[in-house]
Amino acid sequence: MRYKMALMLTLFALLTACTTAMNKETDSMHVNNDTTTATPNVTSIAGDASTVDNSIRAVGTVQDGHLLVKPDSQANKAPLGAPSCLGLETFFRWSGDYEVVWEPASGGASSKVFSFPVDFDIVQPSETPILLQQFTLEKTTIFAYVPRYTDCHGLETYLFGIEEGKAFPIPFVMKPDQILAEISQLPQHPFQVSNGELILTGGYGAGQDFIPVYHFNYDRNKHAMILNKTEQVKPNDLVSGEA
């Protein structure tokens, strides 16, 4: 009798231990399954938001050829996603390594004119390539490229020249030892070309009492915009149209 009782107790203990171990293993499987299924969902959402887009983003055309803003390698496109000072949620944002390329109308080989900074950002309202802004100074055709439709403080602005079938970047010479590849201009205040000058209103940030208004002359020999003078204007004067 004692032997049977001891045997029953032993069997009961073994069954209890097995049940506990199985429960622990099941719990562990649930935790692992939750972790595994969560990760692909996040990846899928990120992947759906961004797609590869190696299309041309801007075009400037003259009789001698075309100036193109296009990816140097791979670029990605995604909706802006949320309204901000960069634009509406329906705007598009491109990111990648971009370049400016000159394609001669004669059918000759295309040539690289300029490389933008790595992971360059472009924001525009639609997927249609924009037309580069065109003007003439000193008998040189000049194209302006502004990669973002609007901005919080200032819009990057790049200039490129076309002369005698050749294209080249036009830097901004602020001082002999300060040469800029691009300059920031105030949103909603596009630059003007008047009396042989390029007049550009600089960007604006919090805490600034004045906004610079730059006057540039184009140096045809140096292929550069040379700063002639800078006015300091109060923001309210710009809004009221006094500048």
pLDDT at 240 over 70: no
User: Which of 49, 71, 86 marks a domain boundary?
Assistant: 49
Query: Is 243's pLDDT higher than 50?
Result: no
Q: Are 77 and 91 in contact (CB under 8 A)?
A: no
Report the alpha-carbon distance of residue 69 to residue 240 in Å, rounded: 35
98 and 108 both lie in a single domain: yes
pLDDT value at residue 103: 98
Contact 108, 132 (CB under 8 A): no
Average model confidence (pLDDT) for the chain?
A: 84
Instruction: Check residue 42 and give its pLDDT.
Output: 27
- Quick one: pLDDT at residue 107? 87
For the ranges 8-22, 133-147, 202-216, the lowest mean pLDDT is seen at 8-22
pLDDT (tens digit, 9 = 90+) per residue, 170-188? 999 999 999 999 999 999 9
The total number of structural domains that make up the chain: 2
Where is average pLDDT lowest: 9-13, 40-44, 144-148, 172-176?
40-44
Assess contact for 180 and 171: CB atoms under 8 A. Answer: yes
Identify the helix (H) or strand (E) that includes residue 237: helix 235-239
Higher-pLDDT residue of 66 and 241 is 66
pLDDT at 11 over 70: no
How do residues 24-50 score in pLDDT, each as one tens digit? 444 433 333 333 333 333 222 234 589
Instruction: Tell whether 40 and 116 lie within a shared domain.
Output: no
Q: Are residues 37 and 78 in the same domain?
A: no
pLDDT, position 49: 80
- Do 113 and 59 belong to one domain? yes
Same domain, 144 and 206: yes
Residue 148 lies in domain: 51-239
Q: Which of 49, 67, 87 is the last residue of a domain?
A: 49
Q: Which residue has the higher pLDDT, 124 or 28?
A: 124
Those residues whose C-beta lies under 8 Å from the C-beta of residue 97, and which sit 6 or more positions away, are 71, 72, 73, 74, 75, 115, 116, 118, 119, 120
Asked whether the predicted pLDDT for residue 17 surpasses 60, the reply is: no
Q: Is the pLDDT of residue 198 over 60?
A: yes
Residues 157 and 108 in one domain: yes
Better pLDDT: 238 or 194: 194
Which of 28-37, 55-64, 81-90 shows the lowest per-residue confidence on average (mean pLDDT)? 28-37
Of the pLDDT bands very low, low, confident and very high (cuts 50, 70, 90), residue 239 is low
Q: Is 125 helix (H, G, I), strand (E, B) or coil?
A: coil
Based on the fold, state whether residues 55 and 169 are members of the same structural domain. Answer: yes
CB count, 10 Å around CB of 180? 13
Query: What is the Cα 211 distance to its own chain's centre?
Result: 24
